[in-house]
Amino acid sequence: MPVELTHGENVELVRDYVKKHFVAKGMIADFSIHEDDPNNPHAHILLTMREVSEEGFGKRSDPGMPRPICSSGARPGRRPPTNI
């Protein structure tokens, strides 16, 4: 995330990104913004691939997304992308 943004702007940026790319496709998402290093503000986005009903979590669903390796799209042993 851009270091020039305020905390509130970072929250808005990530919330809009999550809504557009995940929630709009029917996914449940949770995010956490880390700003402990002023030179490296970043977010972690957690997604569930399970259906949710009144009975709780069900079988894995596929809302048109490939099965993620991790939330950043990184592959083991490779550095994750830093341009979200």
**CA–CA gap between residue 32 and residue 44 (Å, rounded):** 5
What's residue 51's pLDDT? 74
**CA–CA gap between residue 58 and residue 6 (Å, rounded):** 38
Q: What is the pLDDT of residues 19-41, one digit of tens each?
A: 999 888 878 899 999 999 989 99
**CA–CA gap between residue 51 and residue 27 (Å, rounded):** 9
Q: Is the pTM of this model over 0.75?
A: no
Give the amino acid at 79.
R
| CA distances to 58, 59, 61, 81 from 53, in Å | 7, 10, 12, 33
What's residue 27's pLDDT? 81
What's residue 37's pLDDT? 93
Q: What is the pLDDT of residues 44-75, one digit of tens each?
A: 999 877 777 788 877 776 656 555 445 454 44
